[in-house]
Structure 1
Amino acid sequence: METKTGNIIIEKIKESKITKVDFSNLPFGKVYSDHMLVCDYKDGAWQAPRIMPYGPVSLDPSAKIFHYGQSVFEGMKAYKDAEGRAWLFRPEENQKRLNISSKRISIPELPKEIFMEGLTTLLKLEKDWIPTTPGSSLYVRPFIFASGSGLHASPADQYKFFIVCAPSGPYFAGKIKVLIEEKYSRAANGGVGYAKAGGNYAGQFYPTQLAQDKGYQQVIWTDDNTHEYIEEAGAMNIFVRINDTLMTSPVSDRILDGVTRKSVIDIAKAEGIPVEIRKIRVEELISASKNGSLKEMFGAGTAAVISPVSGFGHRESDYSLPELENSYAALLKKRITDIQYNKAEDPFGWRFQVG
Structure 2
Amino acid sequence: MLDIKVEMTKTPKELPSADNPLKFGTIFTDHMFIMNYEEGKGWINPRVVPYQPISLEPSAMVFHYGQEMFEGLKAYKTEDGRTLLFRPNKNAERTNRTNRRICIPEIPIEDFVQAVKTVVKIDEAWIPTKPGTSLYIRPFIIATDPFLGVRPSHSYMFMIILSPVGPYYPEGLNPVKIWIEDEYVRAVKGGIGEAKTGGNYVASLRSQVKAHDEGYSQVMWLDGVDRKYIEEVGAMNIFFKINGTLITPLLTGSILPGVTRDSVIQVCKEWGLAVEERRISIDEIYEAYQNGTLEEVFGTGTAAVISPVGGLRWGDQIMQVQDGGIGPVSQKLYDTLTGIQLGRIEDTHNWTVEV
Q: What range is the shorter-chain TM-score in?
A: over 0.9
**Residues 259 and 301 of structure 1 are in contact (CA less than 8 Å); yes or no, is this contact kept in structure 2?**
yes
TM-score where L is the length of structure 1:
0.96
Tell me by how many angstroms 1:274 deviates: 1.2
Gaps of 5+ in 1: none
Secondary structure in structure 2 of the residue aligned to 1:95: helix
Task: Sort the Cα spacing of 1:48 and 1:231 in 2 relative to 1 into closer, same or farther, 3 A.
Answer: same
Q: Letter of the aligned partner of 1:166 in structure 2?
A: S
Structure 2 residue aligned with 1:72? 69
1:305-320 aligned within 5 A:
305-320=305-320
Q: Letter of the aligned partner of 2:18 in structure 1?
A: F
**Residues 142 and 158 of structure 2 are in contact (CA less than 8 Å); yes or no, is this contact kept in structure 1?**
yes
Structure 2 residue aligned with 1:247? 247
Task: Sort the Cα spacing of 1:281 and 1:198 in 2 relative to 1 into closer, same or farther, 3 A.
Answer: same
What CA distance in whole angstroms lies between the structure 1 residues aligned with 2:234 and 2:289?
Answer: 21
What CA distance in whole angstroms lies between the structure 2 residues aligned with 1:76 and 1:177?
Answer: 24
Structure 2 residue aligned with 1:132? 129
Q: Deviations over 1:18-70 (max 9, x none)?
A: 34x22342111110010000000113311020000001011000000000001
**Residues 18 and 129 of structure 1 are in contact (CA less than 8 Å); yes or no, is this contact kept in structure 2?**
no
Secondary structure in structure 2 of the residue aligned to 1:287: helix
> What is the number of residues matched between the two proteins?
349
1:276-315 aligned within 5 A:
276-315=276-315
Structure 1 residue aligned with 2:175? 175
What CA distance in whole angstroms lies between the structure 2 residues aligned with 1:326 and 1:281?
Answer: 22
TM-score where L is the length of structure 2:
0.96
Structure 2 residue aligned with 1:336? 337
Identical counterparts, % of pairs:
45
What CA distance in whole angstroms lies between the structure 2 residues aligned with 1:313 and 1:276?
Answer: 24
What CA distance in whole angstroms lies between the structure 2 residues aligned with 1:326 and 1:183?
Answer: 30
Show structure 1 runs of 4+ deviating over 6 A: none
Secondary structure in structure 2 of the residue aligned to 1:211: helix
Structure 1 residue aligned with 2:149? 152
Structure 2 residue aligned with 1:98? 95
Secondary structure in structure 1 of the residue aligned to 2:139: strand
Q: Deviations over 1:144-166 (max 9, x none)?
A: 01011100111111100000000
What CA distance in whole angstroms lies between the structure 2 residues aligned with 1:14 and 1:160?
Answer: 24
Task: Sort the Cα spacing of 1:228 and 1:6 in 2 relative to 1 into closer, same or farther, 3 A.
Answer: closer
**Residues 18 and 33 of structure 1 are in contact (CA less than 8 Å); yes or no, is this contact kept in structure 2?**
no
Q: Does 1:216 align with 2:216?
A: yes
Q: Letter of the aligned partner of 1:340 in structure 2?
A: Q
Q: Letter of the aligned partner of 1:28 in structure 2?
A: F
**Residues 310 and 326 of structure 2 are in contact (CA less than 8 Å); yes or no, is this contact kept in structure 1?**
no
Q: Deviations over 1:239-294 (max 9, x none)?
A: 00112111101112101110000000011111111111111111111111111110
Tell me by how many angstroms 1:112 deviates: 2.3
What CA distance in whole angstroms lies between the structure 2 residues aligned with 1:112 and 1:317?
Answer: 46
Structure 1 residue aligned with 2:46? 49
Gaps of 5+ in 2: none
**Residues 28 and 168 of structure 1 are in contact (CA less than 8 Å); yes or no, is this contact kept in structure 2?**
yes
Decide which moves more: 177-186 or 133-142.
177-186
Secondary structure in structure 2 of the residue aligned to 1:171: coil
